[in-house]
Amino acid sequence: MAPPLSRRSLLRAAALASAVPAVSLSPTSASAAPTVPAALPAPDAWTVRPFPLDQVALRAGLFADKRELMLDHARGYDVDRLLQVFRANAGLPTGDAVAPGGWEGLDGEANGNLRGHYAGHFMTMLAQAWAGTGEQVFADRLRTMVGALTKVRAALREDPAVTVTDGRFGTAVEQIRGSYQYIDLPSGTLGGARAITLSVWVRPAHDGAWARVLDFGDTTRYLYLAARNADGVPRFAVTTGGPGAEQGLDGTAALPLNRWSHLAVTLADGTGVLYVNGTEVARNTAMTLTPAALGTPVNNWLGRSNYPADPVFAGAFDEFNAWSRALDGAEIAALQDSRAADTPAGRGDLASYAFDETSGGTLTDGSGHGRTAALRRTWGGPSHPGFLAAYPETQFIDLESRTTSDYTKVWAPYYTAHKILQGLLDAHLATGDNRALDLASGMGDWMYSRLSRLPASTLQRMWGLFSSGEFGGIVEAICDLHALTGKPEHLALARLFDLDRLIDSCAAGTDVLDGLHANQHIPIFTGCLRLYDTTGEERYLDAARNFWGMVVPHRMYGIGGTSTGEFWKARDVIAGTISATTAETCCAYNMLKLSRTLFFHDQRPEYMDHYERALFNQVLGSKQDRPDAEKPLVTYFIGLTPGHVRDYTPKQGTTCCEGTGMESATKYQDSVYFAAADGSALYVNLYSPSELTWAEQGVTVTQITAFPHEQGTTLTVAGGSASFELRLRVPAWATAGFRVTVNGRAVSGTPVTGSYFGVSRTWRGGDTVRIAMPFRLRVEKALDDPSLQTLFLGPVNLVGRNSSTEYLRLGLYRNAGLSGDLLPSLTPVSGEPLHFTLDGTEFAPFHEGTEDPTHAYFRRVEPRVVFGGVDSGVANPARFDGTTLLDEVWAGAPFGSKGALVARVRATVDAWVAAGLLGAGDGRTVVATARRAGYAP
């Protein structure tokens, strides 16, 4: 008998009722009914398979508490802010929404060349939150975003259309910042005039220098009017010899933002005059050039500069008129309160645009010449109808010819595409919204249309470019897309991202990681595994396995993270790479995905040992322990230098790590349990309070524990009877024992650390499995400097909270127990689980997201030989490699008795005296001290 559906499952099922699947590339109504999601089938190559998030519920505990902090952000953040950059790019109204900023805004780092990525992460977070909690708000927000993106793609496929705003007189045309739209006037608009007046109302929305109100000509022969020059004031100029020969007029004050201002220029008889709001602000009596000197200008633009580096004008236009004479001051003043048609000047006889249009992409000329203007995009339009992005396709086009990295010009466009694609796939799978799959399929078609026509050499050059060529986990996402659509083009597309020189080197076991950007390359290997699943090519599997072994442990810090300053250094250099920019959080996220996917193919316990280490330490510790609707509060780097304070609001926000941080915090349960592909076994990988609904076996498994505050866990089976093997992970750190009972009786067999312990039986409702796994305090040494160490209690990394910026110097052998456990040297803090003090410094779990200055590593110093608190007074000698006498003694732990310890001390002393490393007299003192030490017999 199958277990009853949970409230979460019932909510999800109700939301998916009566829906019809379809995949197309046609616009879909925003109110279209969602379809039943097509569950991704597990590849045949997977010998174990994960459970969907909605089948594993988090129960109260550490992970649920951390997740709830992120759910506050998921519930509270205004998704219209995320959609602002997409709508702007498509020329759609953005309302009052303000782009998130940072990497998601035009004013952020590299001019927001990564914008759109954050919305993808947010959709994935919402999908995971909906699956994990069943709260309707998350599904509703997903559908809002998918509906908006559907409209965005439709708008991108069409010519630009008027965006209406309140004008100075009636309506006006708004040029949304980020839309790259401008007004294209017909050739001959200026008519070769020898005198001219130009008049326009503008409402600037941004203070960027050199945004043109108008620009007629090219880069040599032109006249322009800029809202702001380099000094922030309006400027008019005319030239037939380029910038160095300009004859110009400069204003005296900046135009206010988001307020209407009137600009007018007259030019006649060698004199130019600039007016602002009807007042003359500049006069130049040496302006000999007129429009006639330009001939027939090549370009006739409102809102766009002939210089591509200049920004497109952002704001609104109203009432543009051009006359073939110089209006006098009174006529200019009259334009302040009335339309030109209602003033003595009348409409411009060269051109006159009232901007009264409320739809369409053309603007009517009222001068009588019929010079209809048109709205254009500076980049034209998409090369394929499936294109969807928050910036122009020029980012992708530029990458194809780029030979050097410059993220201020091109910053990882396919990385951004990945995040959007993945978010859409997750939205479809979580809510069944077919519009999301339609958008995703279109993106796949568009990418294939671009990349399939490129030579292999071009692709290899692109993917080898640091930053610009980064594409994240796009291969994995495209493989998932192919599983849903079945389109052969989508599988072919996935293979176009192969970075052959890296994949081939790793497949051959050749370590070439030194100097590579870590997070650019880690996801490549999760993609390799998915390609192996689909193609069966062993090269992909070998590359992924070997790559993992090049990172763990050879480039891994104690908390499970990797990279310094985003890059890898030489193999086995750990102490030598510790910095304030160590352990980029995205790297931990991607190494977890890789470890997990490798385990699906090969159940090597070290994959899940690493998963536990990185999850319980870096990933949990990367999230600050306070709620915030506006910020996810996730670290970018976790510096491991002494006294480092974590920065939970890095780089103006909306970074890659904040994006992956949102995802990590809403899928903590994704690897707690796996099932054998044939249903014969249940893997319990992580010890976390949770409830598994295993429908195929008709049982639920509830795990009750306060782990890691509790050194064990209890599993209870409910439902009907089912035969399977329960495979319990015996962590590599569980050297103090791992004991299992079923219904109170000890299970035969000897659990081995770093393996899985199997319990096979026919399980019945009420069966209870109890696991005890005592923690021991241990140290882990930096591979390149054994004296630099980090503390662990079970799976928990303990960090010192101390403001010193020098490594703490600590000794731990003084009270070590016969078991070898170093914990007796620390003093527990009353009422604070997993908190201790040592030499005046408090040690606490790394996973606590505080802003305390921390010491993840310390300098191990054991100056004298001490046993059981008894000081021998003898200096602790060391070998050339740094190994001390005490290190060698305690390497023999655990000791069954004090006598066994004394025997180990005597044998070690004899060897060191014989080697000339310790004097005979001091040796005798050391042995005597061990005998006097206060250990129980």
The parts of the chain modelled with pLDDT lower than 70 are 1-39, 936-937
Place of tokens 């952000």: 73
Taking the mean position of all CA atoms in its chain, how far away is CA 712? 34
Cis peptide before 52 (omega within 30 of 0): no
H/E stretch holding 772 reads strand 768-772
> What does DSSP assign to residue 595?
H
From the list 50, 29, 34, the residue with the least C-alpha distance to 667 is 50
Could you tell me the two tokens for 501? 């020189």
Q: Which residues contact 151 (CB under 8 A, 6 or more apart)?
A: 30, 90, 92
From the list 128, 31, 126, the residue with the least C-alpha distance to 77 is 126
Q: What is the DSSP annotation of 105-138?
A: STTSGGGGTTTTHHHHHHHHHHHHHHHHH--HHH
Rounded-to-integer distance, Cα 821 and Cα 142, Å: 50
Sequence ranges of the chain with CATH classification 2.60.120.200: 164-377
Torsional sign, CA 596, 599, 603, 606: negative
For the CA atoms of the chain, what is the radius of gyration? Answer: 34
Check residue 937 and give its pLDDT. 62
Rounded-to-integer distance, Cα 344 and Cα 435, Å: 55
Check residue 6 and give its pLDDT. 40
Strand partners, 715: 703, 769
Rounded-to-integer distance, Cα 659 and Cα 650, Å: 12
Q: Which residues contact 159 (CB under 8 A, 6 or more apart)?
A: 361, 374, 375, 381
| CATH assignment, 164-377 | 2.60.120.200
* 3 state SS of 498: coil
Rounded-to-integer distance, Cα 389 and Cα 382, Å: 10
From the list 521, 538, 520, the residue with the least C-alpha distance to 529 is 538
Check residue 25 and give its pLDDT. 47
Burial of 720 (0-12, 13-18, 19+ CB in 10 A): middle
Check residue 34 and give its pLDDT. 40
Three-state secondary structure along 694-717? ECCCCEEEEEECCCCCCCEEEEEE
Q: What is the DSSP annotation of 195-211?
A: SEEEEEEEEE----TT-
Q: What CATH class has 673-772?
A: mainly beta
Residue 115 near residue 103, CB atoms below 8 Å: yes
Place of tokens 């050039």: 289
Residue 184 near residue 373, CB atoms below 8 Å: yes
Could you tell me the two tokens for 393? 């396709």
- In the chain, count H helices and then E strands: 22, 39
Q: Which residues contact 791 (CB under 8 A, 6 or more apart)?
A: 777, 778, 779, 797, 798, 799, 843, 858
- Give the number of other Cβ atoms within 10 Å of residue 72's Cβ: 15
Residue 57 near residue 690, CB atoms below 8 Å: yes
Q: Dump pLDDT digits (tens) for 741-763.
A: 999 999 999 999 999 999 999 99
Check residue 881 and give its pLDDT. 85
Rounded-to-integer distance, Cα 453 and Cα 448, Å: 8
Burial of 690 (0-12, 13-18, 19+ CB in 10 A): buried
Q: Dump pLDDT digits (tens) for 3-23.
A: 333 433 433 333 333 233 334
Instruction: Indicate the average pLDDT of the chain.
Output: 94
Helices (H), 182-328: none
Check residue 21 and give its pLDDT. 35
Pairing of strands 690-694, 699-704: antiparallel
Sequence ranges of the chain with CATH classification 2.60.40: 673-772
Q: Dump pLDDT digits (tens) for 240-271.
A: 999 999 999 999 999 999 999 999 999 999 99
Q: Longest Cα pair distance anywhere in the chain, in angstroms?
A: 115
